Chains A and B, each alone.
Chain A
Amino acid sequence: MQDPDAPAVELVGITKQFPGVLANDDISLAVRHGEVHCLLGENGAGKSTLISILSGMVRPDAGEIRVGGKVAPIDSPRDALELGIGTVYQHSTLVRALTVLENLLLGETRGLRLNVEAARARLAEVAATLGVQIDADAPAGELALGRQQQVEIVKALWRGSRVLILDEPTSMLTPQGVAELQKVLRRLKETGISVIFITHKLHEALAVADRITILRAGRVVGVLDTAELAASSAEEVQARIVRLMFGEDSRAVADVAELRTDLEGEQAPVDDQPPDAGPLLALSRVSARPVGGFDPGLEDVSLEIAEGEILGVAGMDGNGQRSLAEVIAGERALSAGEIHLYGARVERLDVSARQKLGLRYVTDDRLGEGIVTSLPVSLNLFLKRIGQRPFWRHGRIERRSVEREARSLVESFDVRTPSVSTRAGALSGGNVQKVVLARELSFDPKVVVFNKPTYGLDLRTTSTVRELIRGLARGGGAALVISTDLDELLDLCGRILVLSRGRVVGEVENGPNAGERVGELMVGAGDVAAV
């Protein structure tokens, strides 16, 4: 029998060690019934590990978990589900090829036949509780991202979970979608369900949480009650939380967008461009065929980036961002239109040729395509210069040149690695990104495309990366920043284009209400962006 006064779920002394990293260090926290409890901490603070432990993906080295007052070991996702803990992971766990109903039915092992009627009824029931409408027979892959997330929430609550964990849920959503989510959370609270909400953004935590637990380097450094915080001013609250999150190092990250208390775009730095300089990069009615199931390609896209400008591209995942980046970089051929670099047409040039001209691409998929994990850092730094002097002569590698240059780059970009011969896969995420940046931003970059440049990085590295982008623009280059993180775009860019289903549906000048205007464009443009 569950003790009604006990917290819905409680972690006591949880510790988890990974090779070289103490991810969770004696963490204790309690979540009350019907409470929205936020776990706030920068990337790398230990939030994901804690959630993995609660959801059964990872087992702690020490400590215990209590559900409703009783000790409850969670050894697998099945245990978590049976204890009433449902998790919506940051990366979708929906199977695109299956329908919504099939996704919800997944995981049943009792009984032979699929119990379709019961599932339909249950879906209707849970959807009503949440206040949302979901088409049971739609293939999951065809739903808008916000709708997909709703299905995942339904799934997490399917077996009557009383605790819902949401891991960075807003990374997939438009501002309007975030508002919808907040409505859903309020309804859940009313039914007595507890919500654990993980985020690395201050303003999100303040917007939805009843209580905030702050994690730093694997430890709990503070638990705040938002009701109490209401008494203080916004600056005081921000200062207090930042101090808890960073202690003495808070000055280093003070200006980062994630630590602002609200979404309002500050005035972006004014670009001083020489009045009649032509654009550095111009796309003119560019179209590209869709590839695979996930990217709609490009349709009739035109844009221009001037010298010293940082242009943003907003839009949710799957609206053509990848196609845009790859077409500009030369990885993918376009089916129509023209690309002009410094006024000259470059559609026929391949990746290496464009690289040499100063056009670079920092991919979002660092491990998947940005580096080759089995190769040493030194080779990774020159992967886009294979065969070129001075690293290769007559096709033969010049080891000494490679190592010398590599050491120099590692130093200037502050890549932490035991040596340049270390396998790139051994580096931590932030350093992998630095390697990719070092590669793309060396040898006179001029126009650089950045795709989600600070995703998953800790705040210090995030700050560094954004400074690099600003530095590039100040130095006479130009940057195209593609990101699903609106905060980031508002922080960096003077103008923001909105991409939806492969088309540019609008452009927003950074300024007051820019975020809202971007959100409206995303929603208004069609179902992929909706919700």
Chain B
Amino acid sequence: MSELLTRTFLTALISGGLIAGVSLMFTALGETISERAGVLNIGLEGMMLVGAYIGFVGAYYGHSFWVGFAAGIAGGAFASLFMVVLCVRLGLDQIVVGIAITLAGEGITSVLQDTQFGSTYPRLGAPPTVAIPLLSDIPVLGKSLFDQPLIVYLGLAAVGAVSWIFRRTNAGLNLRAAGEKPEALDAAGVSVVATRSYAALCTGAFAGLGGAYLSIVGAGTFTPFMTQGQGFMAIVIAMLARGKPLWVVMGSFLFGISLSVATALQLAGFNISTDVVNLLPFIAIMVALVAFARRSYLPPALALPYVRGAR
């Protein structure tokens, strides 16, 4: 009995953890890009939901998972346009607009889902996966860890790419300056507004992808408010990761596992109430925030709009 418990439990834990983790990873990666450029994106929850809904719709009607992912990216990017126009370009309060985007995202996707599908929740099938030879043959863990949809591997590659971009490219350097000291970037002749705009759009795109992953691969369908705070979790991960993409991956998977513990325990026959277990990720975050209170790193020019001539 105990052997069965372990296998079921572990498999469920890891696959569940991976799904939530991948979704968080995309979103948190996006937020990292924004934050390093000096834009605080509170609207992630809304962007994720928009990506989740549009992604699902894209996959459902387009009969293709890739169409779904692309739609999710587009949806998230569209939602972030508001951030770009209102906050980066017009200099309005990033927090207020972020709240507005979250509310709008939650509301609109709920209304659209209700209008379009009502109380039927059509499901997508499971997406095809790519198994890594050898590694996927490891007993117990292999199947869960190393047999994932292609997009996951692409995502991990994206993390590496972003890290490289930050450190080794002109665009990455300019982006970092936009977050540290926008006056310096302006004086060097690069538009701070343009740099931050691209950063914010990337964030939207990644958040949309994260949401789409959740609805397409994770649940196979869209339910209103389905992100359940994961957008905010992503912000925390980005903050704690101190702008380093590799730490974003680790943080995302840790939190992902805490999200999947509930289902895993239930599948394994443990009778812990869902409510208690659902609290775990948030409690984990609070614990992390308290433990690392002194050390979360935010770029100095975060959430301050850049106005040439202002000091």
- A and B directly contacting (CB within 8 A): yes
A residues apposed to B, CB below 8 Å: 52, 55-58, 76-78, 80-82, 87, 89, 91, 93-98, 102-103, 105-114, 155
Cβ-defined contact, B190 with A107, below 8 A? yes
In angstroms, Cα B177 to Cα A95, docked, is 7
In order of increasing CB-CB distance, the 4 nearest A-B pairs are: A107-B188, A78-B189, A93-B184, A93-B187
Known: A106-B174, A114-B173. A77 touches B180 (CB 8 A): no
B181 touches A93 (CB 8 A): yes
Q: Are A111 and B173 in contact (CB under 8 A)?
A: no
Chain B interface mostly helix, strand, loop or mixed? helix
B168 within 8 A of A: yes
The verdict on B196 contacting chain A, using a C-beta distance below 8 Å, is no
Task: Give A102 to B168 CA distance when docked, in angstroms.
Answer: 10
Q: Which of B193-212 contact A (CB under 8 A)?
A: none
Contact A109 to B190, CB < 8 A, known contacts A57-B308, A102-B173, A114-B170: yes
B181 contacts A111, C-beta separation under 8 Å: no
Given contacts A57-B309, A98-B177, A111-B170, 9 further A-B contacts (CB under 8 A): A93-B187, A96-B180, A98-B176, A105-B170, A105-B173, A106-B173, A106-B174, A113-B170, A114-B173
Indicate the member of A55, A98, A110 with the most B CB atoms within 10 Å: A98
Contacts of A103 in B (CB 8 A): 184
Q: How far is the CA of A98 from the CA of B174 in the complex (A)?
A: 11
Which residues of chain A are within 8 angstroms of B185 by Cβ–Cβ distance? 106-107
Contact B170 A112 (CB under 8 A): yes
* Interface residues in B123-153 (C-beta closer than 8 Å to A): none
Point out the residues of chain A lying under 8 angstroms from B188, CB to CB. Answer: 77, 81, 93, 106-107, 155
**A112 near B180: Cβ-Cβ < 8 Å:** no
Measured CB to CB, the nearest residue on chain B to A111 is B170
Cα(A109)–Cα(B198), bound, Å: 14
Question: Can you name 9 A-B residue pairings with CB atoms under 8 Å?
Answer: A77-B186, A93-B183, A93-B187, A95-B176, A95-B180, A95-B184, A109-B190, A112-B169, A114-B170
Tell me whether B86 is interfacial, beta carbon within 8 Å: no
B96 within 8 A of A: no
Residue of A with least CB distance to B184: A93
> Which B residues have a C-beta under 8 Å from some C-beta of A?
168-171, 173-174, 176-177, 180-181, 183-190, 308-309, 311
Residue ID in chain B nearest A77 by CB atoms: B189
Q: Report how far A441 CA is from B130 CA in the complex, Å.
A: 76
Report the minimal beta-carbon distance from A108 to chain B, rounded to whole angstroms. 5
Smallest beta-carbon distance A85→chain B, Å: 11
Other-chain residue from B168, B174, B309 in contact with A113 (beta carbon distance below 8 A): B168
The CA of A114 and the CA of B174, in the complex, are separated in Å by: 11
A89 to B183 CA separation, bound complex (whole angstroms): 11
B170 touching A87, Cβ below 8 Å? no
Interchain nearest-CB distance for B195 vs A (Å): 10
State the Cβ distance, B172 to closest chain A Cβ, in Å: 8
Q: Are A112 and B171 in contact (CB under 8 A)?
A: yes
Closest to A112 in B: B169
CB contacts (< 8 Å) of A109 on chain B: these are 170-171, 174, 190
Q: Roughly how many angstroms separate A89 CA and B190 CA in the complex, as a whole number?
A: 17
Provide the residues of chain B in CB contact with A111, threshold 8 Å: 170
* Min CB–CB distance A161 → chain B (angstroms): 12
* Among A52, A91, A96, A107: residue with most chain B CB under 10 A: A107
- B190 adjacent to A58 (CB under 8 Å): no
CA distance A77 to B311 in the complex (A): 17
Q: Which residue of A lies closest to B195 (CB)?
A: A109
A-side contacts of B176, CB under 8 Å: 95, 97-98
Cβ distance A100 to chain B, nearest Cβ, rounded Å: 13
CB <8 Å contact, A89 and B187: yes
Question: Who on chain B is nearest to A82 by CB?
Answer: B189
A398 to B129 CA separation, bound complex (whole angstroms): 73
Min CB gap A158→B, angstroms: 9
Q: Which residues from chain B contact A155 at a C-beta distance below 8 Å?
A: 188
CB-defined contacts of B183 to chain A, threshold 8 Å: 91, 93
User: How far does the alpha carbon of A78 sit from the alpha carbon of B188 in the complex, in Å?
Assistant: 7
A78 to B189, CA, bound (A): 4
What separation, in Å, do the CA atoms of A109 and B188 have in the docked complex? 11
- Of all chain A residues, the one with the shortest Cβ separation from B190 is A107
Residues of A near B170 (CB, < 8 A) are 105, 108-114
- Chain B residues near A58 (CB, 8 Å)? 309
Task: Report B-chain residues with C-beta under 8 Å of the C-beta of A107.
Answer: 174, 185, 188-190
Give complex CA distance A155, B185 in Å: 12
Residues of chain B lying within 8 A (CB to CB) of residue A113: 168-170
Known A96-B180, A98-B176, A98-B177; contact A81-B189, beta-carbon cutoff 8 A: yes
Answer whether A77 and B187 are a contact pair too, CB < 8 Å, given A58-B309, A95-B177.
Answer: yes
A341 to chain B, nearest CB (A): 33
A98 touches B190 (CB 8 A): no
Minimum CB–CB distance from B81 to chain A (whole Å) comes to 23
Determine how close the nearest CB of chain A comes to the CB of B42; give it in whole angstroms: 24
Q: Which residues of A contact B177 (CB under 8 A)?
A: 95, 98, 106
CA distance A110 to B185 in the complex (A): 15
- Bound: A96/B177 CA distance, A: 10
With beta carbons under 8 angstroms apart, the residue of B169, B180, B308, B311 that contacts A91 is: B311
Q: Counting chain B CB atoms within 10 Å of each CB, which of A57, A95, A111, A155 scores highest?
A: A95
Interchain CA distance A155-B171 in the complex, whole Å: 18
Contact B189 A76 (CB under 8 A): yes
Q: Measured between alpha carbons, how far is A110 from B169 in the docked complex, in Å?
A: 10
A106 with B184: CB separation less than 8 A: yes
A93 to B188, CA, bound (A): 9
